[in-house]
Each structure stands twice: as C-alpha cells, then as structure tokens.
Structure 1
Amino acid sequence: MLARQRQEMILDEVRRAGAVQVSNLVLRLGVSDMTIRRDLDALARGGLVEKVYGGATSTLGRSTDEPGFEAKSVRQLAEKEAIARAATEFVRPGTAIGLTAGTTTWTLARFLDDVADLTVVTNSVRVADVLQQRGRTDRTVVLTGGIRTPSDALVGPVAVQSLRSLHLDLVFLGVHGMAAKAGFTTPNLQESETNRAFAEAASRLVVVADHAKWATVGISTIVGFDEVDVLVTDDGLHSDARRMLSEEVHELVVADLDSRGGSA
C-alpha cells in the first residue's frame, strides 16, 4: 500500500471517529509503529490532524472554523491539480466564467493558459493575480470587491451586488465541505451569500472539491447537490460517497491521480 493511500485511510478514520490510536492503526494496516507515526507526522504538517500522545485527533472543529488560505493551499495538492485538469475541459474559448475564492479554484486558474478570449469574474485577489500574471491580451479579469475573509475571499454586499447583474456561461464553485444532508457548505455566512450569487449568475454550475471535503460541514449551505450541474472530485472519494453523489448531482466527474486525467 502506498503512503498516500495509507494516509487517506487514516484521515478517513479520524474524520469518522474523531481520533485514532497508533496501536490500532498498526493492527489494522499491518505496518510498523514507526510507519504510522511518520504518516501522522505528514498529516499533521498538512494541518489535517493534530498529534496527541499515542495517536491523533481531528482538526475539524466547529462549523464556523475557517482555515486561512496558506493552511489550505498545502492540502491535497495532487488531488487539486488532477481536479483542475479535468475541470478545464469544460471551459470553451470566448466564454464568460466565474471562479469563486478557494485553493482549488486558484489551482484551476493556473490551468487556463491555453483557453483563448476568456472573461473571468472572481471574488479572489489570488485568483485574479494568477490570471493577470499570465500576460494574455485576450483575457478580461473582473474582481468583485468586498470584505476579505480569512480564506482570502471578497464577500459581502459589494460582492453580491456586483454579481447580481451578471450572466456567466460557467461558474466554478470551491467549497469547504460536502455532506449528505447539508449539501455544499462554507464556514462563513457572508461567503455563502456571495457564492450563492455566483451560482445564480451561472448558466452551468461546476463544483470542484477533493475527497477530503466529504463529510465536512460548514455552518451555511451554498447549494444542494441537486442544484449542481457537475461535481469534479478525485478518485480518493470512497465508493459509497460516489454512488450517492452520482444519484444527486447531474454529472459526477472523478479525476484519476494515476493518469492525471478525468473520467466520468
């Protein structure tokens, strides 16, 4: 078993139970005590678990907990890149698209270099910077303005008002969590309102979310599963979640990390 696969299993168990013990993981995964401790060290460096004596606990706290951009940007890097590659296939030259704030949408922005004549509306200074640094003369970048959140989203009345008069061909929505009853959520109430305005402006809504977002619930629902045209996730999402999501969203795309491609 690869280290990545083992760490994903450990993280799934932490999310399910809230904590894990090294001794139990040694028996369950059939590896040494030192191997498990190295896995926990790697997960802790990424901010995904908190190490405690004899094991680790979940870092997922209250539904209003909001990690900063830097903390989120180091998580699931390979998954985000695979998702971005798959999501780029939906973008056509000459269209107007929206990119909400977030590290997955920020990653997606870096994969749009080959798409000509784009108009991009975003509420993320970081996304806008990536797009403008590429130096394309056939690209228009519109930044909504608003109040800045810990995750570097621009939100609030100014952002919402900017979006209400727009009609976008495609919107890519980044989320904090996705869960069966809650749908796609965020820990920030103002960001939820702003993201709903993005969704309402979209002719087609695409959520980009890696498998680690599963079973995470923020305080506010942005949209329900049935309101989403496409969900692009990665192949780390377990089979039960895939089956449920494939029945709820209109289209489920699973990006394959091994081939760095996407498949439905």
Structure 2
Amino acid sequence: MFAEERQAEIARLVGVTRRVSGADLARRFAVTMETIRRDLAALESAGVLRRVHGGAVSVDRTDSVEQSLDSRETLKTPAKRRMAAAALELLESTEATSVVLDAGSTVETVADALASRRTGSTENPLLVMTHALHVAGRLADQPEVFLELVGGRVRTLTWAASGMTTAEQYSRYRTDIAFLGCNGVAAGFGFSTPELPEAAVKTAILNSARTVVVLCDAEKHNHENLARFATFSQVDVLITDAAPMGDLAQALAEAGVQVIVA
C-alpha cells in the first residue's frame, strides 16, 4: 500500500471512530511506528486530525473543554439509562448502605434511577453523598435516601463543588461504593478528566470508597484528557455501553477490572 492510500484510510478511520491508536495502526497496516508517526504528522499538517499521546483524534474533538451541565442534559441517551440501570442493579447486589455519586450527566442518570426507586422501607435509608448540586436536587426529597451534600467552591460550568476543600472533605469518609464519571479512559494512561481540581475530587472519592465503579460510554474509550484521576488498578468495575477493544480491553483485563456492558 502506498503512503497516500494508507493516509487516506487513516483519515477515514479517524472520521468514523474519532480517535486512532498509533500501535493499532502499525499492526493494521503492518508498518513501523515511525511510519505511522510520519503519516499522522502529514495528516495533522493537512488539518485532517490532531496528534495526541499514543495516536491521533479528530480535529473537532474538544478534549480540554467540558460541556456545560445544561448541554450535557441532552446527552442522557438510552445507552446512558441502561448504564444507570446496571449501576443501580450493582448497588442493590452489594447491599451497600453508603454511596458517593460523582458529578456529570451519566452519574446524574444514576441519581434519576435512585430517585425513582422504592423499596417500601424508610427505616434504613441509603446514605448518598455528593458534591454535585443537580445530583443532590434529584434526591433531596427521596424518602429512602439520607442525603449528605459535600461542599466547596462550585464551578458554574458543572454546578458541582471542586478543588482541595471538596477533596479534603471526602478524605474523611469511608463509603461502601462510589460511582464516578469520566471524560476518557485509555491504556497506558488510565481514567481522566479535563480539569485538575475535578481530578483531585475524583481521586479523593475513589480513595475513600471500598468499591469503585466508573461509568464511561464507548465514545470515551481510548481517549485521554489532561488530568488522570485513577489508574486501572484503582478501579473495581467499569460500566459502559460497548465492549472495550484492543489495548484498552487488555489493560482492563490485566488490572482485574470487571467490565459490565449495558
């Protein structure tokens, strides 16, 4: 295959998958990583893609910019509702009495499911801790939930507290299970988010929980952001809407992460 043909195919793959791995491309085309680096450099110069660590992403991806909570509200897709249902089923199977709910549209969908849950008993309410105002708002009047709001400086973009004050509060607790959202998960890097203060909060949450569950839709697979908040060894369960592939699947398996496909 000529370089022009290979680069055209790489451009097509980026357009479809929004992200490509250099190692996967080298195996796919049976060429060296140096050849792939030259291909990606040429395509970046042509404005087709943007190179990142380990590969390249589509130029219209906004890796370092989060969407506002209002815009993410529209992203509560049927897939995310299935993921939330799987999270609720997991929560009930563990018989947890305390849970942390992170910020973000996917975890907020878990709060929606919890708000609709009725066990018929209010004598032993589930303790739910969160630093996300929209998550708290969904559960404030749920009679089977004892809500604990964790404070700190609220980011207007996400309507959630973030930074060291929030992280320090979480470090005082030991909860049964935590449900975290993420903006990306990639082999060789782990779970990540665009903002350092938010990463600090997520890390504090996972360090305080006996069981750590990350909800991450397939669009974020093989995707890196600025700030890593967890390695694979720090996560017990990944709930997603499509099975991870390639290097990501191998890294998760080697770390013993249970993958639930909803």
Q: TM exceeds 0.5?
A: yes
Output the aligned Cα RMSD: 2.2
**Structure 1 residues 161 and 244 mapped into 2: Cα distance closer, same or farther (>3 Å)?**
closer
Q: Name the residue aligned to 2:112.
A: 110
In structure 2, the gaps of 5 or more residues are: 1-12, 22-57
Question: Does the CA-based 8 Å contact 2:174-2:209 persist in structure 1?
Answer: yes
Secondary structure, aligned partner of 2:191: strand
Q: Given that residues 156 and 193 in structure 1 are in contact (C-alpha distance below 8 angstroms), is that contact kept between their aligned partners in structure 2?
A: yes
Q: What residue in structure 2 maps to residue 125 of structure 1?
A: 133
Cα distance, 1:74 vs structure 2: 2.2
Which of 149, 152, 158 matches 1:146?
152
Deviation at 1:148, TM superposition (A): 2.1
Displacement after TM superposition at 1:164 (Å): 1.3
Q: Which whole-Å CA distance do the structure 2 matches of 1:181 and 1:82 have between them?
A: 28
Deviations 1:91-120 (A, max 9, x none): 135600001111111000111223562000
- Tell me by how many angstroms 1:129 deviates: 0.5
Consecutive unaligned residues in structure 1, runs of 5 or more: 1-8, 18-56, 256-264
SS in 2 for 1:190: helix
Q: 1:250 to 1:144 in 2, by over 3 A?
A: same
SS of aligned partner of 2:91: coil
Deviations 1:119-139 (A, max 9, x none): 000010000001124x31x32
SS at match of 2:20: helix
- Contact map agreement 1:227 1:249 (CA 8 A) in 2: no
Q: Which amino acid aligns with 1:163?
A: Y
Corresponding position: 1:186 with 2:193:
yes
Question: In the TM superposition, what are the counterparts of 1:67-216 in structure 2 within 5 Å?
Answer: 67-75=67-75, 77-92=77-92, 95-112=97-114, 113-114=117-118, 117-133=125-141, 135-136=142-143, 138-149=144-155, 150-216=157-223
- What are the equivalent positions in structure 2 for 1:235-246 lying under 5 Å apart? 235=242, 237=243, 239-240=245-246, 241-246=248-253
How far apart are the structure 2 equivalents of 1:219 and 1:244?
A: 20
Distance in 2, Cα, partners of 1:192 & 1:67:
16
Looking at structure 2, the residues matched to 190 and 216 of structure 1 have their Cα atoms a distance apart, in angstroms, of 20
CA offsets 1:129-180 (integer angstroms, 9 cap, x no match)? 01124x31x3211111112232232112321121111110000011111111
Q: TM-score, normalised by structure 1?
A: 0.70
* Separation in 1, partners of 2:77, 2:14: 18
* Structure 1 position 10, deviation (Å): 8.2
Cα distance in structure 2, aligned partners of 1:88 and 1:95 = 13
SS at match of 2:174: coil
